[in-house]
Amino acid sequence: MWKFAWRNLLTRPLRTALALIGLSIPILGVIGLFSLSEAVRNLIGTTLSRVQGVVVLREGAFSPVFSDLTSDMLDKIAAVPGVRAITPEIWKIAPSVEGRSAAGNIVRNVLNRDPKAPSKQLQNLLDQPIVVGQDPTRRAQIKSEVFPKAILKGEAGGRYLEPQDVGTDHVVISTKIARDNPRPDGQPRKVGDSLDIGGKSFDIIGMYETGSMFLDVVVLMPIDTARKLLNVSPDTVSSFYVEGDDPSKNDELTARIEQTIAGVDGRSPNEFASNFGSLMSQLDLFLLATVSLALLVGVVGIINTMLMSTTERFAEFGVLRTNGWSRRDVLGLVTAESAYLGLLAGVVGFVLALVFTLVANQFLGSTGLSLSITPRNALLGIGLSLIMGMIGGFYPAWKASRMVPMAAIRLGAS
């Protein structure tokens, strides 16, 4: 009977192909969007795994960029039991780099589209530089630093900020920022070159590369220099980076800091991960809801196809019933046809998603995001398609199975 059902689908190839397209596109959406969601999760997970300490922010602030605390909190936090080292930080969106502001970059990217380098446009939209001011003296006590470990090996990497850099216009930048803001000769900037930030020239003393799109946008400079550049008063910092005696007890340390000092949030890597996981779960739900609408349209397409198919085949169903086929047999035949349709749409959707991820990965370039279709997502997409196909075929199948054989034959003959 499965062979018979398969042949019935092939009898009307154009209609079958159209129904396949109708359902396979939502399946592409399911697989593609969930792959994207997983890629973002992986990237965030990788990024957070580099952060070993606790970040103290203003209560309710989304990130250090949107946080402001008073500088005198440093001593209070340092006095909390379990704190081994602490350093203040200033995080702000760079006013302009090489004369280009953040807002200007976005507008420029939209207006000056370069069809030869689409990945660069997308990357630029995601890569607005952020200035981070650090206290090189205090930073020297920190062991779990992300950026010093990412300094390139050899002469190309230069060095990280050190206590002698206090009061200088030295900066450490990423290779990405170096590429995005090339020298007049078009070559990426190197250690020893200068970089214009906010209309002021800075000397590049170090070059790092973390591989994460969230971290490789940072321009590091001494905190006093950052204050002058960004007009931040000496009484204010964005956040404190705190290292505990035992990194495995960061959650307890966070709780103690929050209990001791009012108006702050301590964020351990676990908490960042948890907050992000919760955000991504909500995003997944949103994606699912969006894709469900597309799936609904696909199912309606299957219903339409199968209804047309069964309406044309009344006589055939009448003949089958005349020859002893039960209602269940007819129901099974039509459901098998729609199941095949769903399964095929799932496979086609999966193949389209594979192509989509290959193309998307070219566009995402060096953002650190890498889409891949996990077996779980592939099975989810194909399984969902199979179920949708069967659901879509059920009503036409039920209708075909309920026909009185005599009426079916006469309707088919008329």
Partner 1 sequence: MIAVESIRKTFRSGSHDVEALRGLSCTIDRGRLAFIVGPSGSGKSTLLYLLGALDQPTSGSIVVDGHDLTRLTESETNTYRRDHVGFIFQSFNLIGNLTCVENVLIPFLPRGITAAQRERAVELLTDVGLKHRLDHRPRQLSGGEQQRVAIARALVKDPKLLLADEPTGELDSRTGDEIYKILRQLQAQRQTTLVIVTHDRRFITSNDQVIEIQDGQLMGAGLATNH
Binding site for partner 1 (CB under 8 A): 1, 4, 7-8, 10-11, 315-316, 318-327, 329, 332, 404-407, 409, 412-413
Least CB distance to partner 1 at residue 18 (A): 19
Question: For residue 101, what are its two tokens?
Answer: 């502001």
Strand bridging mode 239-244 / 200-208: unpaired
Which residue, 84 or 399, has its beta carbon nearer to partner 1? 399
| Concatenated DSSP letters of 24-45 | HHHHHHHHHHHHHHHHHHHHHH
Whole-number minimum distance, CB 300 to partner 1, in Å?
26
CB of 67 or CB of 305, closer to partner 1:
305
CB 301 within 8 A of CB 22: yes
Nearer to partner 1, 13 or 234 (CB): 13
- Please identify, using beta-carbon distances, which residue of 92 and 313 lies nearer to partner 1: 313
In terms of Cα–Cα distance, which of 177, 149, 215, 157 is closest to 368?
215
Phi and psi at 222, nearest 5°, equal -60, 150
Residue 144 near residue 157 (C-beta atoms within 8 A): no
For 104-160, give the DSSP string: HHHHHHHHS--TT-HHHHHHHHH---EEEEE-HHHHTT-SS-STGGGBPSSGGGB--
Residue 262 or 413: the one with the smaller Cβ distance to partner 1 is: 413
Looking at the Cβ atoms of 236 and 322, the one nearer to partner 1 is: 322
Least separation in angstroms between CB 308 and partner 1: 16
Q: Is 10 or 262 the residue whose CB approaches partner 1 more closely?
A: 10
> String of b and e for 153-183 (b: at least 16 CB within 10 Å)?
eeeebbebbbeebeebbbbbbbbbbbebbee
Instruction: For partner 1, give the closer residue by CB, 123 or 401.
Output: 401
| Beta carbon nearer to partner 1, 368 or 396 | 396
Minimum CB distance to partner 1, residue 21 (Å): 23
DSSP conformational letter for 100: B
Q: How far apart are CB 19 and partner 1 at their closest, in Å?
A: 18
What is the smallest separation between the CB atom of 385 and partner 1, expressed in angstroms? 24
In the chain the first and final C-alpha atoms are separated, in Å, by 27
The least CB distance from residue 16 to partner 1, in Å, is 13
Q: State in angstroms the smallest separation of the CB of 348 from partner 1.
A: 22
Question: What's the token pair of residue 188?
Answer: 């990426």
Orientation of helix 327-364 relative to helix 375-401, angle to 10°: 150
66 Cβ partners below 8 Å, 6+ apart?
Answer: none
Q: What whole-number distance in Å separates Cα of residue 257 and Cα of residue 253?
A: 6
- Token digits of residue 369: 């995001």
CB of 287 to partner 1, least distance (A): 40
